[in-house]
Amino acid sequence: MGPSDWIFGRFLEWSMSSRTISRQRPPALKDARGKVLEIGFGTGLNLPCYPTAVTQLVVVDPEDLMPKRVAARISAAPFPVTRVTLSAERLPLEDDAFDCVVSTFTLCTIPDASAALHEVRRVLKRDGRFLFLEHGLSEEPSVAKWQRRLNPIQRRIGRGCTLDRRIDSLISDAGLQITRLDRFLIPGMPRTHATMYRGIAAARK
Ligand SMILES: C[S@@+](CC[C@H](N)C(=O)[O-])C[C@H]1O[C@@H](n2cnc3c(N)ncnc32)[C@H](O)[C@@H]1O
């Protein structure tokens, strides 16, 4: 791990554990159950927010940031956690293997989010559900214009994080059926970064 990974790990942990962002996690994860896959695990900030109905968790992320802190979080989890360092676009996992797949603040960053979402659908059981909490494209044209302007700097600071992805379309285009979608702004953040898509999508195979 180089110095830039060290700095980015701490930056990610600090920014993603703010009170305003932390508050968004439990409502997004409350319906998780059974065997769960989380894509874009980051520093493991979702771990304490999973409900007791979760029995097993597999997590993937191509980066191995803050390994000691992440290992401590994993060993404190009340269910077995398997962490694999890989990208979500090609998952070496069987079809129909998971009751739930979770993604929080990650579809903005995965280079080929569409490929990852096709993988999400493939690994979900027939009645499985995809739980998502993501920031993305604003419906307000003036905000969307700023999102496009800020993208180059955001991608540099956030290692690929893109502000203007249309999250609901990406999910539907991958064959997942959105059964619940909440659109809202995270209070206290600029609208370019605070425009949220939270919901549930069914695999419906
Ligand atoms: C903004 S962080 C969010 C981390 C975590 N999900 C959270 O809610 O705190 C985005 C995460 O996506 C991960 N990521 C980037 N490219 C990815 C890919 N191709 N597949 C899976 N995760 C990826 C990054 O390494 C990073 O951990």
Instruction: Specify the amino acid at residue 97.
Output: A
Determine the 3-state secondary structure of 106 from DSSP.
Answer: coil
pLDDT digits (tens, 9 = 90+) for 176-187: 999 999 999 999
Q: Which two tokens stand for residue 90?
A: 């090609």
Mean per-residue pLDDT, 53-64: 97
Q: Check residue 4 and give its pLDDT.
A: 83
Q: Check residue 5 and give its pLDDT.
A: 81
Domain count, the chain: 1
Q: Which two tokens stand for residue 121?
A: 């659908």
pLDDT digits (tens, 9 = 90+) for 165-204: 999 999 999 999 999 999 999 999 999 999 999 999 999 8
Q: Which two tokens stand for residue 170?
A: 């990406």
Please tell me the residue having the least CA distance from ligand 1 atom 23. 40
Query: d(Cα 145, Cα 7) in Å, to the nearest integer?
Result: 30
Query: d(Cα 120, Cα 8) in Å, to the nearest integer?
Result: 27
Ligand 1 pocket list (CB less than 6 A) = 12, 16, 39-40, 42, 45-46, 60-63, 87-89, 104-106, 109-111
37 CA distance to ligand 1 middle (Å) = 13
Report the CATH number that the domain containing residue 26 is assigned in CATH: 3.40.50.150
Q: Check residue 3 and give its pLDDT.
A: 79
pLDDT digits (tens, 9 = 90+) for 77-95: 999 999 999 999 999 999 9
| DSSP for residue 108 | T
Mean pLDDT of the chain: 96
87 CA distance to ligand 1 middle (Å) = 9
Mean per-residue pLDDT, 124-145: 98
Residue 125 pLDDT level (bands cut at 50, 70, 90): very high
Q: Please, what is the Cα angle at 55 between 114 and 168, to 5 degrees?
A: 25
Boundaries of domain holding 146 = 3-202
C-alpha distances (whole Å) from 74 to each of 69, 126, 140 are 9, 28, 40
Please tell me the residue having the least CA distance from ligand 1 atom 17. 110
Residue 152 pLDDT level (bands cut at 50, 70, 90): very high
Question: Strands, E, within 98-192: which ranges?
Answer: 98-104, 124-135, 177-185
Q: Check residue 7 and give its pLDDT.
A: 87
pTM of the model: 0.97
Q: Check residue 126 and give its pLDDT.
A: 96
